[in-house]
């Protein structure tokens, strides 16, 4: 899994600005093309900050990129289709191909202390609060 901070602003990259309150109501995603999908996610707040947990079963950690913009978190990657290319699908319930998850960062996140990990099919991003900030 690759992790990198990007210094330019999310708003400039996407052309829009969402508030954190907009994120909680359905977690809208940016459009990345017809084939991209958004992985299921849990986003929750603790006394120490926020945690984002994405379900990406079947994705190798080397195929996941976690980007921290000045004001947004973006996680992208690819889940390969492991079926025989000549197989005829009878049911398709697992999304394959490129995925992207994005959300605006709350203003009180300590961007220098953000950590990302991969465990048993989940990407877990810890977004700690800056010291002195409280909810």
Q: What is the CATH number of the domain that holds 14?
A: 2.60.40.790
**8 Å CB contact between 122 and 55:** yes
Number of domains in the chain: 1
pLDDT digit string (tens) for the chain, length 135 residues = 666 655 445 555 555 554 444 443 333 443 334 568 999 999 999 999 999 999 999 999 999 999 998 789 999 999 998 888 888 888 888 898 999 999 998 878 998 899 999 999 999 999 999 887 555
| Residue 111 counted as domain residue | yes
Is 116 part of a structural domain of the chain?
A: yes
Does residue 133 sit within a domain? no
Residue 54 lies in a domain: yes
Backbone φ, ψ for residue 76 (5° rounding): -140, 160
Kind of pairing between the strands at 64-68 and 2-5: parallel
- 135 assigned to some structural domain: no
Q: Exposed, middle or buried by CB within 10 Å (0-12, 13-18, 19+), for 52?
A: buried
What is the residue range of 11's domain? 2-81+90-128
Q: Is residue 73 part of a domain?
A: yes
């Amino acid at each position: 899994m690759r992790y990198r901070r990007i210094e330019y602003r999310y708003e400039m990259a996407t052309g829009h600005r969402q508030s954190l309150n907009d994120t909680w109501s359905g977690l809208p995603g940016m459009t990345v093309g017809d084939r991209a999908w958004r992985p299921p996610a849990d986003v929750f707040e603790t006394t120490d900050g926020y945690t984002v947990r994405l379900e990406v079963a079947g994705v190798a950690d080397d195929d996941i990129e976690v980007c921290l913009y000045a004001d947004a978190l973006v996680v992208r990657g690819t889940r390969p289709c492991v079926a025989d290319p000549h197989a005829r699908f009878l049911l398709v319930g697992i999304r394959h191909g490129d995925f992207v998850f994005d959300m605006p960062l709350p203003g009180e996140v300590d961007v220098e202390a953000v950590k990302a990990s991969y465990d048993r099919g989940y990407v877990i991003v810890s977004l700690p609060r800056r010291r002195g900030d409280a909810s």
